[in-house]
């Protein structure tokens, strides 16, 4: 769980990371270096204050949330050995990292869903104009963990489902909260669970997660795969994603696995 802020210095350090260690913050910092010193300082001050105003409304997303299990869930058939879920919840580094630590998950691949193959590239998707969302294809054993229980983890610790077209420091439709059901039963379970959570006021605001028509999934570039595991000291990971792993362990101890299941050679799936 995220520890409370105990000093102005901790707040300042956190705000600095929120601005400059978003994945686009590095590009911003480089641009600032070409500005005159005075203009750069003014711009930094304006962004610092802006981030500070929005920070405290986002802290609940960092701490995870205990929510009820779905009342309606899939029932695994006796012959079923593997199933796929495609979920979008902001930056795929953290979402992938969460599900790689879930027992019963056999693969979690970062990628893109919602658009077409021609635009399934990170730089293009980052424009926010491709219809793609950064997503994770989760392959799991339905006899060890159900689709509904994966959704419970998704809503509880993987992201904040009340944020529209953003997650934490990242903004744009590519960071939207979305579920891409691969069959009618998944769509039915997802729809019923969102209604259940909204009726129970499980969150402080309404869930904005969309249930989108099934589309092809396109694995992301190799350098995005297993990013959290390979870069545990990356400031973005430290601030935004490691708390999710801690929350998974705290809220779902029976589902947590210490050793993540890592990506081998992802392939596109239709």
Same domain, yes or no, for 217 and 83?
A: yes
Same domain, yes or no, for 14 and 131?
A: no
Same domain, yes or no, for 146 and 210?
A: yes
DSSP one-letter string for 89-122: ES-HHHHHHHHHTBTTEEEEEEEEESS-GGG-SH
Specify the length of the chain in residues. 270
d(CA 97, CA 153) in angstroms, rounded, equals 12
Is residue 264 assigned to a domain? no
Query: What are residue 105's DSSP bridge partners?
Result: 140
Exposed / middle / buried, residue 83 (Cβ in 10 Å: 0-12, 13-18, 19+): buried
Is residue 108 assigned to a domain? yes
CA torsion angle for 41, 49, 54, 234 (degrees, to 10)? 40
The residue segments making up the domain with residue 31 are 8-56
Same domain, yes or no, for 142 and 194?
A: yes
Specify the pTM.
0.80
Is residue 268 assigned to a domain? no
Same domain, yes or no, for 26 and 74?
A: no
Is residue 224 assigned to a domain? yes
Closest to 89 (Cα-Cα) out of 200, 168, 144, 190 = 168
Q: Give the HSE-up count for residue 195: Cα atoms under 13 Å, Cβ half-sphere.
A: 8
CATH number at residue 89: 3.30.1060.10
The per-residue pLDDT string of the chain (270 residues; one tens digit each, 9 = 90 and over) reads 333 333 444 444 444 444 445 555 543 433 333 333 334 443 344 344 334 434 433 443 457 999 999 999 999 888 889 999 999 999 999 999 999 999 999 999 999 999 999 999 999 999 999 999 999 999 999 999 999 999 999 999 999 999 999 999 999 999 999 999 999 999 999 999 999 999 999 999 999 999 998 889 999 999 999 999 999 999 999 999 999 999 999 999 999 999 999 996 445 455
DSSP 204: S
Is residue 115 assigned to a domain? yes
Number of domains in the chain: 2
Same domain, yes or no, for 110 and 173?
A: yes
Closest to 152 (Cα-Cα) out of 189, 187, 188, 183 = 189
Is residue 51 assigned to a domain? yes
Whether 132 contacts 113, CB under 8 Å: yes
The three-state secondary structure class of 161 is coil
Residue holding tokens 């229980």? 149
Residue holding tokens 């299990």? 69
The three-state secondary structure class of 61 is helix
Q: Which residues are catalytic?
A: 91
pLDDT at position 62, please? 55
Same domain, yes or no, for 117 and 213?
A: yes
Query: What are residue 89's DSSP bridge partners?
Result: 177
Q: E strands, 15-90, where?
A: 83-89
Domain final residue pick, 38, 56, 74: 56
Question: Hey, what are 61's tokens?
Answer: 């997303």
Same domain, yes or no, for 21 and 94?
A: no
Same domain, yes or no, for 114 and 40?
A: no
Is residue 129 assigned to a domain? yes
């Amino acid at each position: 769980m995220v520890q409370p802020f105990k000093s102005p210095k901790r707040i300042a350090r956190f705000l600095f990371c929120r601005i400059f260690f978003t994945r686009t913050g590095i590009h911003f910092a480089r641009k600032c270096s070409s500005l005159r010193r005075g203009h750069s300082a003014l711009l930094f001050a304006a962004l610092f204050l802006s981030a500070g105003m929005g920070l405290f409304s986002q802290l609940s997303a960092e701490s995870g949330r205990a929510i009820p299990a779905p009342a309606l869930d899939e029932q695994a058939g006796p012959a079923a050995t593997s199933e796929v879920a495609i979920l979008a919840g902001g930056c795929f580094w953290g979402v992938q990292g969460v599900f790689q630590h879930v027992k019963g998950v056999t693969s979690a691949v970062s990628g893109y869903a919602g658009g077409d193959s021609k635009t399934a590239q990170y730089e293009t998707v980052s424009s926010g104009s491709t219809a793609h969302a950064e997503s994770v294809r989760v392959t799991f054993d339905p006899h060890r963990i159900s689709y509904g229980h994966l959704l419970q983890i998704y809503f509880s610790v993987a992201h904040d489902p009340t944020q529209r077209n953003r997650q934490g420091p990242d903004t744009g439709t590519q960071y939207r909260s979305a579920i891409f059901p691969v069959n009618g039963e998944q769509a039915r379970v997802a729809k019923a669970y969102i209604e259940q959570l909204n009726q129970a006021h499980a969150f402080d605001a309404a869930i904005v997660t969309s249930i989108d028509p099934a589309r092809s999934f396109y694995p992301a570039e190799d350098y995005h795969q297993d990013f959290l595991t390979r870069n545990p000291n990356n400031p973005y990971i430290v601030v935004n994603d490691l708390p999710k792993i801690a929350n998974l362990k705290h809220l779902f101890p029976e589902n947590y696995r210490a050793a993540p299941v890592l990506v081998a050679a992802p392939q596109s799936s239709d």
